[in-house]
Chains A and B, each alone.
Chain A
């Protein structure tokens, strides 16, 4: 079939792990929109879900850091973090190794992606799945873009990766959903944790939802680091989703800074043209 769904959402560990400390009104509105995203995803009857994440030293380290990596496992375990700390129970999530292999083969003509048959999910994937596939019954194809350990892939390449992934999806018989997950501006796990540049986030989201490629890839890492923190490097996951939905625009379901979650909490869907 092809790509049937695309969206983005936040994944910060505080979203589940520090849930009790957020303003309940804002938190519940955020959760309600994650639930709306789940309903929209389910309505497209996907056979598999690709999650483009920015993992945080759960599997990949500076001894051998791939710019792009696609999972090719039969199943995946997560979360790698302490269950109480993240407030998500450790579980096994199904994969689809055969679909993964076909997607990797479809991407490789354009992008030299690595692959991994072993992969432990961290909060970057488990928090989205907790809300979007709460029964952990939909086969997942995890994708990682290195957003943590510079040097990082250029933004134009992240867009190109999204394009390549889309071509690969459209060549498969399965109905495939795609979710990109990352923070926009944030300074997670540092003394500045809780700082959020809302104006920068909203300007980025406007470019993202209109899918204006040139404006999306115009940010330099120096600007992002200054205005959006090191967490802002995760815009690569959103930009890959924009690449996968090139020519289409999106709908913002929710955006609000929630400082105790250390991120501007975001839920959006992109039309799949």
Chain B
């Protein structure tokens, strides 16, 4: 698991136009610069919002990535719900604590 680097990449994508431009033109090269697992790399490449949420990406980072790849708000919310149905509960980060405490 390298949740930290998944979030770091998405954080830089959200705030840096140069990183965004590379995401469009050289996605493989950009992702290769971060120590990601195969699953993490695929989730970002595929824009799998549900899986990224289940991995533990903070929504304040994830919602901007969803907007960047053109997902309207309701689609974004539903993608996270679908992610939990498909991949199971959130695995790490703040929202895994939330689940434990609300369970």
Residues of A within 8 A of B (CB): 18, 56-59, 61-63, 80-82, 85, 120, 148-150, 187-191, 193, 222, 225-226, 229-230
Closest Cβ of chain A to B82, distance in Å, is 9
Is there contact, CB below 8 Å, between A230 and B95?
yes
Is there contact, CB below 8 Å, between B101 and A191?
no
Interface string of B1-27 (1 = CB under 8 A from A): 000100110010011000000000000
- 19 example contacts (A-B, Cβ-Cβ < 8 A) are as follows A58-B15, A59-B15, A61-B7, A62-B8, A85-B67, A120-B15, A148-B60, A149-B58, A187-B98, A188-B60, A189-B58, A189-B63, A191-B53, A191-B77, A225-B97, A225-B98, A226-B102, A230-B95, A230-B98
Docked complex Cα distance between A150 and B97 (Å): 11
Is there contact, CB below 8 Å, between B15 and A148?
no
Docked complex Cα distance between A120 and B17 (Å): 13
Q: How many A-B residue pairs have CB under 8 A?
A: 63
Closest Cβ of chain B to A220, distance in Å, is 11
CB-nearest residue of chain A to B90: A190
Q: Which residues of B contact A120 (CB under 8 A)?
A: 15
Docked complex Cα distance between A88 and B11 (Å): 21
Q: Does B59 belong to the interface (CB within 8 Å)?
A: yes
CB-nearest residue of chain A to B97: A225
Is there contact, CB below 8 Å, between A18 and B60?
no
- Interface residue tally on B, bucketed by range: 20 to 34
Q: Does B34 belong to the interface (CB within 8 Å)?
A: no
Which one, A18, A56, A82, A149, contacts B73 given CB within 8 A? A18
CB contact under 8 A between A57 and B59, given known A63-B8, A80-B14, A191-B80: no
Q: Which residues of A contact B15 (CB under 8 A)?
A: 58-59, 80, 120
CB-nearest residue of chain A to B62: A189
Closest Cβ of chain B to A127, distance in Å, is 14
Additional pairs, 7, CB under 8 Å, beyond known A61-B8, A62-B4, A63-B8:
A57-B58, A85-B67, A190-B95, A190-B98, A191-B77, A193-B77, A225-B97
Is there contact, CB below 8 Å, between B60 and A225?
no
